[in-house]
Amino acid sequence: MMIQVTMDELKAAFTEWDRRYRENSDKFMTESRRLAEGTPKTYGDGCGPYFRSIIDDLRIAKGHATHLSDEDVPVASPPNSAKA
């Protein structure tokens, strides 16, 4: 799946990620664990949903009516990604 995020949104999301951790690390860890239910293969697999939710929160706070739902996001496969 591919999501479209501006550089400003990406920078703001990292800043928000850091703020949430610094202000309340226990709540931060609880929320990230909840969003990463199951056993992720990698750190990125586990944190990706949480990071995506931060971008959603920032977009909603700015008054954007939409967020990064699966229906709103274009799905694309990288070149040469055909499965054998």
Q: What is the per-residue pLDDT across 31-84, written as a single tens digit (0 to 9) for each?
A: 767 766 667 788 788 778 888 889 999 999 988 755 554 444 433 333 444 444
The predicted pLDDT at position 75 comes to 35
Find where tokens 């920078």 sit. Answer: 11
Q: Are 2 and 76 in contact (CB under 8 A)?
A: yes
The predicted pLDDT at position 16 comes to 93
The predicted pLDDT at position 2 comes to 77
Backbone angles phi, psi at 50, to 5 degrees: -70, -45
Give CA–CA dist 25/74, Å, rounded: 33
Break the chain into its structural domains and give their ranges: 7-61
The predicted pLDDT at position 19 comes to 93
The predicted pLDDT at position 65 comes to 55
